[in-house]
Amino acid sequence: MSSNLNLFAPVQMGAYILPNRIVMAPMTRLRAIDSIPNSLMATYYAQRASAGLIVTECTMVSPLSLGYINCPGIYSAEQVAGWRLVTDAVHEQGGRIFLQLWHSGRVSHSSLLGGELPVAPSAIAGVGSLHTPLGKVSLETPRALEIEEITGIVEQFRQGAKNALAAGFDGVELHGAFGYLIDQFLQDGSNQRTDEYGGSIENRSRFLLEVVAAVVDVWGGERVGIKLSPSNTFYGMQDSNPQATFGYVIKALNAFGLAYLHLMEPNEVDLATREVLNPVITEFRSIYPGTIITNGGYDGITSDSYGALRERIIISGNADLVSFGKLFISNPDLPKRLQLNAELNTPDPRTFYAADATGYTDYPFLES
């Protein structure tokens, strides 16, 4: 990467030339009542269409992949129609939007799944709690998937990719991070299988790579991304050798010609929990020559610190784009504000997970 580039320069990302290098990160917002996307969500995403790329919130590939109340799905005709409202609205504003495909795995609860236990590579409970119809409950011990079930879940991702195509998305991102099902198969703290999906790094990577292959078969590699979090400790995730585990996977991903690799940096909790890879992009840039989006630790910037942000990301040559989470919640016109060094709205965490427009579509634009 040339050192004279900046976040407002166009960039080739897979099949697309993006107008800037600022990505709206996927963020759970819980506005999809009964798991069906709606017009309020269409307004929310369309407001943020000036991002070089929008990646949606995590989206279920099957009813049994639900992890949170009012998360959207992509497995029914009603959900496809709801997402079409979103993609049409974003495209009308000149934006580009990828759908994040997701299976929560063990990060769920039987009260969310009609009484069925969550599934995972192994019967090992995650650490943490969830809000459910029963109130806030601890994660329960999941049921270990039978080997013949795994192919069916790969096919759920394939069908979700097909449905995303029908809904008018520009591409898809696989959620391989944050302790959800793909990540659970990959890391040895959550995967203690003894068949071809467990044990060695190659075996633990098998599910992830099979899902990538299935989705690439639908979209082509240049319209598919994947998000990984090598230093993540969410829900009790851990691996005995993350450098080797994620190094193997990232090298293997080179064969697919993906649009991008979305890498999550550790947060304060990760850093305080145990020794983790930090920074992540520095660790893996040398083995992944494709496009890298970096995420994590950038939401605390102000207009005064933008220059340091540019120095950290772009001049270093370790990433091609940067994704923002909370700042896009409160600043629908974030690229413009950053370019003008303008004042930034402050996000209100009390409204992150709610059911109405408050703290969702009512943050002011700069001109207002």
For residue 118, give Cα distances in angstroms to 28, 61, 67, 106, 157.
Answer: 20, 14, 9, 5, 17
* DSSP single-letter state for residue 28: -
Q: How many residues does the chain have?
A: 368
CA distance 294 to 22: 10
CA distance 260 to 258: 5
Asked if 363 is an active-site residue, the reply is no
With contact defined as beta carbons under 8 Å apart, do 87 and 169 qualify? yes
For residue 41, give Cα distances in angstroms to 28, 85, 110, 208.
Answer: 12, 9, 27, 29
> CB-based contacts of 352: which residues, under 8 Å, 6+ apart?
29, 329, 359
Q: Which of 75, 180, 298, 360 is catalytic?
A: 180
**Positive or negative: CA dihedral 313, 264, 326, 89:** positive
Place of tokens 């806030």: 136
CA distance 41 to 368: 21
Q: What values do phi and psi take at 94, rounded to 5?
A: 85, 15
Catalytic residues: 180
